[in-house]
Amino acid sequence: MLQKSDVIHQYLRPKKAFPNVWCPGCGIGIVMGSLVRAIDKLQIARDDITLVSGIGCSSRLPVYLDFNTLHTTHGRALAFATGVKLAKPKMKVIVITGDGDCLAIGGNHFIHAARRNIDITTILINNMIYGMTGGQFSPTTPSESFATTSPYGNKENQFDIPKLAIAAGASYVARGTVYHVTQLDELITEAITKRGFSVVEAFSNCHTYYGRLNRAGDAVKMIDDMKKNVIPLKAAAKMPPEKLEGKMLTGVFADVEKDEYCDRYDQLIESLKGK
Amino acid sequence: MADVRLLQGNEAVVEGAMLGGLTFFAGYPITPSTEVAEGLARKLPKVGGKFIQMEDEIASMAAIIGAACTGAKTMTATSGPGFSLMQENIGYAYIAEVPCVIVNVQRGGPSTGLPTKVAQADTMQARWGTHGDYVAIALAPQSVEETIMLTIRAMNLSEEYRTPVILLMDEVLGHMREKVVMPEPGTFKVVNRTKPTVPANWYKHFEITPSFKSPMASFGDGYRFHVTGLTHNEEGFPTSESKKIHDKLFKLQNKIMRYVDDICEIETDGMEDAHVAVVAYGNVARAAKQAIQMARHRRMKVGQVRPITIWPTHDKKYHEIFSSKSLEVIIVAELNQGQYVTEIERVAPKHVKVVSLARFDSELITPDQILNKIKEVR
């Protein structure tokens, strides 16, 4: 059996794109590993996969991988991806995005892609801060947390990503963390398999900015804390609400069957034939 | 029997798009361009094409770029406010060398301005709208019939040069109905982008060739290339090497500017011995034509210059057009506060006076107005 790391090496563009831009200890590389293992497990041909991303640390991920890759403008990955998918429905389209890219500047595209239930898998790497621009607060930065633009503590509320995705109409919604890698592999595999709009929130660490500004420790400490702060959804169902205070729930939040947008459009084309 | 129809300009865009082989349209409703989207929503699925109404114009522009990367021939249509929203992604299409067509049915501005009234006030936005150095291709039809041919031409130019092309319409042209003789299939050229023939490991998606033209693979063709809005090397990977940055930007500029003879159409009439020239584009050129006829009846020597390709500017061609020793004054008539006039000033000979006839009250420039200006300047 191949070592896990060997699988990743088969899918990298090592000569062309490396070294990578991420800080040592960044969780985004772990998400990349999960993505590659999921694709490898599903044995999808590389030519049939398009990775689309926006702008930010997370959005640099596609350049390192040997697929069709489209690195777009800030917030717009899902809109570009919608064009790719509708024009070529056989393509597996996977969007790699971050909390700022997807939920702030790209929030509108996120809810509308979910509403259409277009068959795109969105891997939303949530590190609770804008890393690439130097640590500004994002729509998922916790209240009263520090960022370079919330020097007195963040006075805004946060998006709950699974609730937002479900309310907007996504077919599959899950959350994992970069500590729980085996689970993350599985969630991404399920999301890619799902016909419809699927979202995996991959909770990650930005020790460089979030960690430093909030005294949350280094990469090891922040990833280790995920282990302590996480409760699987199934376990949480049996626990009293007070015990869930301040905890993060992981697992599959929604997995429903509904008509997919490109399928419906293809049916329309079929129905118009000869008319 | 010729196929003769009564069409409005926006419908002509639809007809031109279908004749030119459009397969994908993304748009967002905006007056006065909406009939383009409505027509294509009806027609595209009938031929297996795709229409999608996106959540805004930013997304529309993004979706057509994404679709074009898979090999689709794409278009979006909008008006001023939407055109402003598209600008960032128009720059993306430019640096990422993605063919696509943007139709702007201009209305009065700035801001929400005059949604149902005519203007040509996005002339400079078409040229300079996106950030960074940029060379635009923009075409301005003067009639409904010409709109069909220029829509096809806009698609052809985008495919040929792997770049976004703007079709600059206006509210009156978009909504005006005119008799149109439909072009017979086979009587016009339809250009499809060149595909690579090399093996995948030789392919460079952004190759810099001596001609500056390079083939374009689609996602799914087996080439697995990277596309980015970051300044990139020939393989598409981000670069910060100054030579590669220079080479990329030089290529983008020259892959268009080297071919101005092919890209730029400028129609002229009676410029050989004209004392006065009237430069007008879009529907204003029609008023100019009539004004010039009226002036010639009065034995005034007036010539007409009609830029059909309004961007890029073919400097050399303008130098020739304006080279007659008899030429004293150039009038630039346009529905804005004087935009293209600055470009004509740049290319006009130093001894020739360039004057602006600017109208920006949401009404068309009349032939009388132009005639009066001719009398005034002569």
With cut-offs at 50, 70 and 90, classify the pLDDT of residue A274: confident
* Cα–Cα distance, B94 to B165 (Å, whole number): 9
Query: Is 3.40.50.970 the CATH classification of the domain at A4-272?
Result: yes
CB contact under 8 Å between A87 and B222, yes or no, is no
Asked if A136 has any chain B CB less than 8 Å from its own CB, the reply is no
Query: Residue A4: its pLDDT value, please?
Result: 61
How close B56 comes to chain A (CA, Å)? 9
Mean pLDDT, residues A114-119 taken together: 98
* Cα–Cα distance, B330 to B352 (Å, whole number): 7
Helix residue spans in B282-339 (DSSP H): 284-297, 315-321
| Torsion region of B21: left, alpha or beta (phi above 0 gives left; psi -120 to 50 gives alpha) | left
Does position B245 have pLDDT exceeding 80, yes or no?
yes
CB contact under 8 Å between A72 and B238, yes or no, is no
CB contact under 8 Å between A109 and B59, yes or no, is yes
Which residue is it, tokens 């929203």? B85
Does position A3 have pLDDT exceeding 70, yes or no?
no
Query: Residue A275: its pLDDT value, please?
Result: 79
Mean pLDDT, residues B287-305 taken together: 98
Chain A residues closer than 8 Å to B64 by CB? 83
With cut-offs at 50, 70 and 90, classify the pLDDT of residue B136: very high
Query: Residue B180: its pLDDT value, please?
Result: 98
Q: Is residue B347 within 8 Å of B319, Cβ to Cβ?
A: yes
Per residue in B12-45, pLDDT (tens digit) is 999 999 999 999 999 999 999 999 999 999 999 9
What are the residues whose beta carbons fall under 8 Å from the beta carbon of B248, sequence distance 6 or more?
B95, B206, B208, B231, B232, B233, B239
With cut-offs at 50, 70 and 90, classify the pLDDT of residue A1: very low
Per residue in A204-249, pLDDT (tens digit) is 999 999 999 999 999 999 999 999 999 999 999 999 999 999 999 9
Where, residue-wise, is CATH 3.40.50.920 in chain B? Answer: 265-377
Chain A residues closer than 8 Å to B227 by CB? 69-71
Per residue in B56-73, pLDDT (tens digit) is 999 999 999 999 999 999
Mean pLDDT, residues B323-342 taken together: 98
Q: Is residue B72 within 8 Å of B100, Cβ to Cβ?
A: no
Asked if A108 has any chain B CB less than 8 Å from its own CB, the reply is yes
**H or E stretch at B90:** helix B80-95
Where, residue-wise, is CATH 3.40.50.970 in chain B? Answer: 4-181
Inter-chain CB pairs, A–B, below 8 Å:
136
Percent of chain A with pLDDT over 70: 98
Residue B273 burial by Cβ neighbours in a 10 Å radius (0-12, 13-18, 19+): exposed
Nearest by Cα to B311 from B95, B118, B130: B130
* Cα–Cα distance, B223 to B199 (Å, whole number): 8
CB contact under 8 Å between A269 and B48, yes or no, is yes
Query: Residue A126: its pLDDT value, please?
Result: 98
Mutate which of B70, B203, B225, B244 to test chain A, going by most A C-beta atoms within 10 A?
A: B70
Mark B308-341 as b/e (b = at least 16 C-beta within 10 Å).
Answer: bbbbbbbeebbeebbebeebbbbbbbbbbeebbb
**Sequence ranges of the domains in chain A:** 4-272
With cut-offs at 50, 70 and 90, classify the pLDDT of residue B1: confident
Across chain B, what does the average pLDDT equal? 97
Mutate which of B56, B227, B234 to test chain A, going by most A C-beta atoms within 10 A?
A: B227
How close A25 comes to chain B (CA, Å)? 23
* Cα–Cα distance, B1 to B15 (Å, whole number): 18
For A46, the closest chain B residue by CA position comes to: B224
Asked if B50 has any chain A CB less than 8 Å from its own CB, the reply is yes
CB contact under 8 Å between B66 and A48, yes or no, is no
Query: Residue A14: its pLDDT value, please?
Result: 74
Q: Which two tokens stand for residue B70?
A: 């898979």
Nearest to A272 among B45, B62, B224 (CB): B45
CB contact under 8 Å between A79 and B67, yes or no, is no
Tell me the whole-structure pTM to 2 decimals. Answer: 0.98
Asked if B225 has any chain A CB less than 8 Å from its own CB, the reply is yes
Question: Per CATH, which fold does B265-377 belong to?
Answer: Rossmann fold (3.40.50)
Query: Residue A17: its pLDDT value, please?
Result: 78
The CB-side HSE value for B122 (13 A sphere, CA atoms) comes to 36
CB contact under 8 Å between B71 and A87, yes or no, is yes
Per residue in A10-36, pLDDT (tens digit) is 999 977 778 899 999 999 999 999 999
Which residue is it, tokens 């024009």? A87
What's phi and psi for A232, nearest 5 deg? -65, 145
CB contact under 8 Å between A47 and B220, yes or no, is yes
CB contact under 8 Å between A72 and B52, yes or no, is no
Sheet holding B226-228, edge to edge: A230-232, A248-255, A172-177, A198-203, A120-126, A92-98, A49-53, A68-71, B226-228
DSSP designation for B365: P
Query: Residue A2: its pLDDT value, please?
Result: 53
Nearest to A68 among B46, B54, B224 (CB): B224
CATH class assigned to B4-181: alpha beta
Query: Residue B102: its pLDDT value, please?
Result: 98
Mean pLDDT, residues B148-175 taken together: 98
How close A149 comes to chain B (CA, Å)? 25
